[in-house]
Amino acid sequence: KQVIESVLGSLKDGGYLGNDILGSGFKFNIDLITGAGSYVCGEETALMESIENKRGTVRQRPPVPAVSGLYGKPTVLNNVLTFAYAVYILSDNSNLEYFLSLGTENSKGTMPFQVSGAVNNPGIFELPFGVTLRELLKLAGAVENAETVQIGGPLGAYFPLRAEFLNLKLSYEGVSEKGGMLGHGGIVVFGQGTDMKYRLLNSLDFFIDESCGKCAPCRIGTVRLKELFERIFKKQNIEENLKIIDEILESMKYLSLCGFGAGVYMPVRSLLTHYKNEIIEV
């Protein structure tokens, strides 16, 4: 925060930001606002609520932000990455051509992949879309006994590190074809012996904590999922409870108000697909 504030201060002092940029009469200001750390405030309407100093809950749409957004005004919301790409592309005609030459057919350009967890060289790796998971893990120095990755953040799918997934191309369509999502390109690596039952419970606690509570499928569904898994861990009506879990995940996917509730199915189903024996010790 201090670094960004200091940069903004320098730009204002130099006349590059403010109400009369370089004496041109052109007005452009940047305000830095710090949120309270809620995951759902990454959702555009919850973000606007937070900026307006309200509780970070998702707004019902319509109206969409482009019609009525921040303080009821038409609002453009994009992440920093998009604005950074836009500046690069617009700064020179040849940049667009170069940008489009990188990546895959449906995922153009580069992605700053963020790799953390069981790696010797955690950090951000900006690479063209389409790089394989194997190549990225090599750059990040994944530990020899790395066994699992979660791709796309807390709502992303878990994949075991066997050949089929090591050769996975990291593009929107590549990860989607394998039943996951690339999301913002966050990748967490887990080493041998990771307790997948704990991973599941940890994810469920995260969903319960971070649900903004605005819609019933997510507010109630997240809590019910944890209750049902706890019953399964006690070996109570396993098949019946798994069926109810599946129905809840399906309802959340289609009836949740925002992508948070709709995305819960992905980590849960991927864990059940790839680690069922570890999670459900019959």
Query: 189 vs 252, which CB is nearer to ligand SF4?
Result: 252
Least Å distance, CB 75 to ligand SF4, is: 19
Q: Which residue has the tokens 């309407």?
A: 45
Instruction: State whether residue 166 is helix, strand or coil.
Output: helix
CB 112 within 8 A of CB 125: yes
Task: Check the CA dihedral 18-66-37-129 and report its sign.
Answer: negative
C-beta closer to ligand SF4: residue 219 or 226: 219
Residue numbers at the binding site for ligand SF4 (CB under 6 A): 40, 58, 211-215, 218-219, 256-258, 260-261
Angle between helices 80-91 and 93-101 (to 10 degrees): 120
* Nearest-CB residue for ligand SF4: 261
In the three-class reduction of DSSP (H, G, I as helix; E, B as strand; rest coil), residue 244 is classed as helix
Q: Which H helix or E strand runs over 151?
A: strand 148-151
Q: Write down the least CB distance from residue 39 to ligand SF4, Å.
A: 9
66: amino acid identity, one letter: A
Choose between 197 and 219: whose C-beta lies nearer to ligand SF4. 219
- 10 Å CB burial of residue 14 (0-12, 13-18, 19+) is exposed
Sheet containing 123-128, strands listed edge to edge, beginning at the edge strand earlier in sequence: 123-128, 110-117, 186-190, 148-151, 157-160
As measured in angstroms, the least distance from the Cβ of 37 to ligand SF4 is 15
Which residue, 27 or 54, has its beta carbon nearer to ligand SF4? 54
Q: Pick between residue 40 and residue 200 the one whose CB is nearest to ligand SF4.
A: 40
Shortest gap between Cβ of 121 and ligand SF4 (angstroms)?
A: 34
Q: Supply the minimum distance, in Å, between the C-beta of residue 33 and ligand SF4.
A: 20
- Closer residue to ligand SF4 in complex, CB, 63/213: 213
Minimum Å distance from CB 77 to ligand SF4?
A: 16
End-to-end CA distance of the chain: 50
